[in-house]
Amino acid sequence: MIVNIYKPVGWTSFDVVKKVKGITKEKKVGHGGTLDPFAEGVLIIGTGKDTKQLNEITNSDKSYLGVLRFGEETNTLDSEGRVVKTAPVPDISSTEIKAVFSRFIGPREQTPPMFSAKKVNGVRLYKLARKNLEIHRKPNTIHIKALDLVTSEEGQLTFAVTCSKGTYIRVLASEIARELGTVGHLIKLVRTRVGKFCIEDAMTIPEFETSWLSTVS
C-alpha cells in the first residue's frame, strides 16, 4: 500500500511511520522522503511489498510553500533554532525579489546544513550539530525547477518552489535572504507535492485510521 499522509508540525517522519505501523500492524513500513519536524504536508508512506516503490517516489521532484522571515538567521535555519546572526532588513521590492529568484533557477551546488538527517561517515549530521561540531559536507547538485513569489510583506515573504531530490529549502531560503542583502530563516514550510502526490489528496493520521479500520472491519 502507498498512502499520502499529511504530516503535522512537530512530528518526525519516523513518528508517522510508527503510527501507520501501529494502525495497520504491518511489519514493514517506510516513507518516501524525510520532512523536518517543523515542516508539514505531503509524506508518502509505503507498507509491505509496496515499500519497493519508495525509492522511485523519493527521487521525484517535490514542491513546497515556504515563509522566509528576514533579519535573523538561526543555527538550524528554521524557527526551531537559536539566533546566531542578525542584519538590518532593507526595503525590498517585489521586482527585486523576482530578479533574485530568477538567478536560482536551474542546476546549482548546495551544501547540506549541519542540522539535517544526512549521514556522513555513518553519523547523522544533526547529532554532531547538537554537540556544536561542524564538519566538511560535500555539496550536492540540485535543480530548482520553479521559484515564485506568492506574497511579500514587511519583514518576510512567502514563496513556492519546485525542486529536485536533495534540495534543502532551509538552505535555499537562507541563500535568498543573503542575495537580498540581509539574513533570514524559515518560519513555515509546507510540502505540497511529491511526484504525482498532491497535498489536496493527503490524509491526516485520524482520517487514515478511520479509512483503514473501515476496510478491515
Catalogue the active-site residues.
Answer: 36
Report DSSP state, residue 27. Answer: S
Q: Which three cell numbers stand for residue 123?
A: 553519523
Residue with cell string 495497520: 24
The DSSP code sequence of 133-177 is -----PPEEEEEEEEEEEEEETTEEEEEEEE-TT--HHHHHHHHH
Q: Return the closest-CA partner of residue 42 out of 28, 60, 24, 55.
A: 60
CA distance 209 to 36: 23
- Asked if 194 and 62 count as a contact pair (C-beta separation under 8 A), the reply is yes
Q: Which amino acid is at 207?
A: E
Question: Across-strand partners of 107?
Answer: 143
Please, which residues have CB within 8 angstroms of residue 22's CB and are 6 or more apart in sequence? none
